[in-house]
Structures are given as C-alpha cells and as structure tokens.
Structure 1
Amino acid sequence: MTDRTGESRVWRAPSIIDVAREAGVSAQTVSRVANGMDIVRPVTRDRVLAVMDRMGYRPNSAGRALKSGRFRTLGVIMSELSSYGNTRTLEGFATAASRSGYSLALTPLWTIAQAGLTGALTRMADQPVDGLIVVLEEHELLESDLVRVAKIPTVVVTAGRKHPYLAIDTDQAQGARLATEHLLSLGHQTVWHIRGPENSHGARDRAQSWADTLRAHGRVVPPIVPGDWSAASGYAAGRRLAADPSVTAVFASNDGMALGAMRAFHEAGRDVPGSVSVVGFDDMELSADFQPPLTTVHQYFDRVAVAAVGMLVDRIEHNRHTVADPVPTELILRASTAPPPVPRAALAGI
C-alpha cells in the first residue's frame, strides 16, 4: 500500500494497542473482549467489537494459548478420505468441534505404510493441538505408535478395543445381527454373506455376528464370499451367488457391494427381491435410489463423531476419562427384501 506521499509501506495487521486507541479503552479491556470475558460492560464490549471488525483485528491465538495452555484445536489423523463412512465422520468432527469452540487440524494418510503413520503421529503430537482423534483400523495402529502421542489426550475411532486409549465405534455386531435376523424372519433358511476386506475390524465384526446369529437360530453357516468394499467386488460375488439357485438371501457388508451384487442378480435373471433378497450396511444417501431401493443397516456416523469429540473435550477440559458405549445402528426396511420364492413343487401341488 502507499501513504499520502506516494511511498510504499508494508501492510501491518492492527494490534491490540491500535484497537484500544481507536475504541478509547485500555488494551486489557480489548483482551477481555477478545477472550469472551463477561466482566466488560455490554456497551463497551459492543464498541470494541465494532472497532475490531472495522479494523480487521484478529486476536493472537498463539499468545492466548500461552496464557491459557490451550490452542482450541483438535488434531485428526484419518486414512481413506474418499470412503463414505470417513467422509461423513469427518464432517461430524468439524461440526461437533465447532460447537465446542474448537477447530480441526487434519492430517490425511494416503498410504498406511508404517513409517508414514509413525511420522504422521509424531508430527501431529508436536503440533499446536490440544488433543488427537485417530481414525484408523486396528491393524494399522501399533502400540509403539500410540505411545508417541501419549503426552496429549487421544481418542481412537473404529479401531477395536485392544488398546488403553479412549475409543468409540458403531455397534457393528448389532447391525449385522439386525440384518441377518430380518432375512431369517422373512422365511429364508439361511443367509449368505459378502464380506469386506480381511484386515477391516468392521468387516470382521459384521461377519462374526452374521455367523453367530445363524448358529443361534440353528441355521447352516454358508462359506463367506470375499469382497473389498467396492461395487465391483460385490458384482463378482453376486455372479458367483447368482449361479446357485439355493441362494435366496444375501447380506453384504456395505451398500456398495450390495449394489454390485444386485446388478449381477439382475443380469442373471434373478429378480430382487422376488428370487433373492439383499441387505446392505451403511445406508448411504443413494441406497434409497437403488433399483429396487435397498434395505440396509443405518450407521450414525454423526453420533460417533459427536461422541468422539465430546470424549476428547471432556478429557482436555476436565481430565475425565469418559467411556462411551458403541453407537447403535438401525435397520432401514425398503424394497430389496421379501419372503423366499415358493418352490415349484409347492406351486404344482406336489
């Protein structure tokens, strides 16, 4: 910028002294207003705020952190930002953190090579954050890594419970039980399962619950059909299952694989749900627009995020170790499930 003589001057952000002089108050009063203290008279506070807005004054967050011992920032380490669940969970973190007066510092991991994860945890622990939320699978977290961040409060999301840190997750087992029992209640003799990746604890918990539920009802547990969360893997699994006429009910470990499986059934002439019923898991927005609309297990990613942020803020501000139960799921009934087809022999009256 230039002054009245036409000479260039380097722009300088307004200081607390500038605001105090313009508002006709002390620097201490400006500091109290900036920190939200309620001991300033309303008329004075409003005048100071108006001057701060007009001058573009921004309080020195680093200075405030030195005084209060807090940065009002939560660190998040997360992999697979493109996945539906992680996207929704990250959105929930941002909303919950903002409501609690915190901002987020995100460190995405494009690869889970152990050196990269170790470096990310170390860097985040050294950043000006008050606490850390780690969203990684159980197999991706080594005890030695979490020790690196032990100096700051930490909450682990969707990583199992085999560690000493505060943790929160969806009730994966309950969701799989709801899906399996729904299909059995319609009259299907058993339920086939398209599983998620082998190294996913969520996929593992859902598969275990599916098998346990079938056994509890005295039903045969069919061989697991592997998948990798993608619709393409669901399609491959669906082609395999469509060739077996005894398959009348399928529980896919996520909606993407359910979509691929339904495409394979349609191409094979297996009507959904007339010939085979399909249930997914997640309840992504497009699930209601599948053909037919997909019966699925709804995950409350926002509630998981709110619980994680709440546990972390409670630890930061009150040094409380709040333990939260897994967040329940809900079965959403749509048009992709129905009773099994009547055998031809029964139709012929034999």
Structure 2
Amino acid sequence: MTLDPAASGRPPSIRDVARVAGVSHQTVSRVLNNHPSIRDTTRQRVLEVMAELQYQPNRAARALASSRSRTIGILSAMSTDYGPASIMTSVEAAARANGYWVSVANIDPSVEGSISDALAQLRAQAVEGIVVVAPQVRVFEALATLPLDIPYVTLQSTSDDGHALFFDQYAGARLATRHLLELGHRGIYHLSGPQDWIEADARMQGFLDELNAWDAPTTAPILGDWSADFGYFAGRELLRVRDFTAVFASNDQMALGLLHALRDGGVDVPGEVSVIGFDDIPEAAHFWPPLTTVRQDFPELGRRAVAFLLGELDAEGAHTIAPQLMVRNSTAPVAR
C-alpha cells in the first residue's frame, strides 16, 4: 500500500520517502548529501518520490542555531565552455565571500524532466537561492512552467522578467561589428554559436543589425559550435571563396581556429583579413596575432548574481552589464 503522509495531517518525513521509494532511510540521507555511492537509478527514484510527496528536509540540526542552510544552488547545463564555466566559478567565489556554500545540480536540457528533477534536488538541500547558468532556449521555456518560491536569478538570458542578469550580448556584437566597419571593412562574415544558445542568437542579431545600420552588405552567418576545431574548418572553407576582408567570431575559441586556418592558407592577419572574437579568454592576448575581442567581466557578473539573491540589488527589471571592446593586433584598416 502506498503511504500518503498528507492523510495523517503531518508533513512527510525521511522515513516516508524511504518507504515509498522502497529504500532505507540511510539511502535517502545519502541522496540528500550527494553521496557518490548511490546509483543513478536509485537517486532518481528517491528524488521523484521527494517531489511527489513534496518532502522538505529539516536542516535545522545541520545549520547551527540559525536554521539556515547558508547554501546557494546553481542550476547548470553541464557546459565546459569558457563563458558558463567562468560564470560558475565567479558565482562560487562571490558566494564564499558572503559566507555561503554552493551546491551544483547539472541538467541535460534534452532530457524530459531533467530540469524539474534538478530543482527538486536543490530544494531538498534547502538552498536559499538559485542561480541558473544554462543558456539554452529550452531551459528557460521549461523554467517558465515551473513554480519557484525561493529567490532565483537567471544568467545568460535576455528576458525582462524581474529575475534576469546578463551581459548585453547584443550590444557587444554591435560593438565588434562596428569596429570592423569603422576600419573600412564591408565584406564581413560572422561565425555564430549553436542555434539554441541565447547568447549566440543575440550576438548574431547584433551583427546583422549593425550591418543594416551602416547599409553594409549582409552575409549569412555560419552556424558553429563554439570550438576551435569548427573555427579552423570554417576558415578553410572561407578560403575557397576569399570574398571577405574580416570575420567576427562569436567566441575566442572559434577565432583561434580561424587564425590557424588563415595562417595555414598563407593569409596575413590583419594585413589581408581582420579577425575579432568575443569573451576575452585569458589566452586571447597571447594568440598570434593578439586577438581583438569583446570582454565580459565574469567576476562582476558573479558578484551581482549573489548580491541579487541576497536582496542587495533591485529585483525589478533586467540588469545588464556592458561589455568592453579590447583592441589588439588582429584587426586593422582594410587594405586598399
């Protein structure tokens, strides 16, 4: 017989969860503490039962006299790319500076139920706020259907829903494109990021709108995958047509691969072709030539995200951080 704790008028306990899930209460405890010995199938079953019973663990005994977890949750889409990884590092540093720990719940946006399960996991740990570091469109679509009754902030978004904090990707792309146009370039290609990524779409739109504002010829963006390998592949293909004098890559890794391809093809950068990236990764200043790029201040984003959750920032409306153009030696006036 399935236990229904609500019928008894009391909140469900850890033993109720264990009984419904068919495991021991020690196993439920290990799931709550992210113990590595628990099988994924068992962990998933326990989390599903917690959500079904609306179980909220009592953390008072472990949170000293304050009865607070002093924990901030991060909902992450398991990306090793520089941007998301840097944001997570910055959020954790800012949280620690404010006396908080961080708990990360990774999701696979392509798996149904992954987001709700991850949120249940974070809620089971009594996190006091959640930072969403998952830049795929479908993640935000799923979040819109889920009730969140604790403070949260979404990064890498472009929405004005009262929970958004992000770099102005659109403005950064226009800044990069304008730099090339001011140097006299008119044959400009754009290596875009993956189609489902909010940042990639905003940068692509900024590129197209800046070209239109200058009444410059528009080229179809080339959809990439953020990797240096793709930048190299795209560069080799572009060398077949040679109808361009500049390329705006949507991130620095693709710009690196592009520089490699141009060098292999005997093309001088920036003498014949100018290249600009986006992110300003630590190695960008040491590319050859040093890469002109758009800088995002990730430590500042992490600081603001934690301040937002702690109520130190106005929660009304979106908060944007302006990117900065870093001019180095990979861009120059178009050759006449």
Question: TM-score normalized by structure 2?
Answer: 0.77
Q: Residues of 1 paired with 2:204 and 2:109: CA distance? A: 26
1:203 to 200, 203, 208: 200
Give the equivalent residue in structure 1 for 2:164.
167
Q: Residues of 1 paired with 2:65 and 2:149: CA distance? A: 20
Are the equivalent residues in 2 in contact too, given 1:79–1:112 (CA < 8 A)?
A: no
Q: Residues of 2 paired with 1:184 and 1:111: CA distance? A: 37
2:219 to 215, 219, 222: 222
Are the equivalent residues in 1 in contact too, given 2:229–2:254 (CA < 8 A)?
A: yes
Alignment of 1:269-288 (within 5 A): 269-288=266-285
Q: CA deviation at 1:155?
A: 1.0
Give secondary structure in 2 for the equivalent of 1:169. Answer: strand
Distance change in 2, residues 1:83/1:243 (3 Å): same
Are the equivalent residues in 2 in contact too, given 1:81–1:108 (CA < 8 A)?
A: no
The answer to whether 1:126 aligns with 2:117 is no
1:337 to 321, 331, 334: 331
Alignment of 1:182-261 (within 5 A): 182-261=179-258
Deviations 1:92-124 (A, max 9, x none): 111211222211111223664232222112221
Give the equivalent residue in structure 2 for 1:94.
92
What is the percentage of aligned positions where both structures have the same residue?
38
Q: CA deviation at 1:321?
A: 2.5
1:70 to 54, 64, 68: 68
Q: Residues of 1 paired with 2:105 and 2:227: CA distance? A: 25
Q: Residues of 1 paired with 2:289 and 2:191: CA distance? A: 19
Letter in 2 for 1:206: R
Are the equivalent residues in 2 in contact too, given 1:154–1:165 (CA < 8 A)?
A: no
Letter in 2 for 1:171: D
Mind listing any 5+ residue stretches in structure 1 that lack a counterpart? Answer: 1-60, 343-350
Give the equivalent residue in structure 1 for 2:308.
311
Q: CA RMSD in A?
A: 2.3
Are the equivalent residues in 1 in contact too, given 2:108–2:114 (CA < 8 A)?
A: no
2:112 to 111, 114, 119: 114
Give secondary structure in 2 for the equivalent of 1:314. Answer: coil
Q: Residues of 1 paired with 2:263 and 2:64: CA distance? A: 63
Report how many aligned residue pairs link the two structures.
279
Distance change in 2, residues 1:85/1:185 (3 Å): same
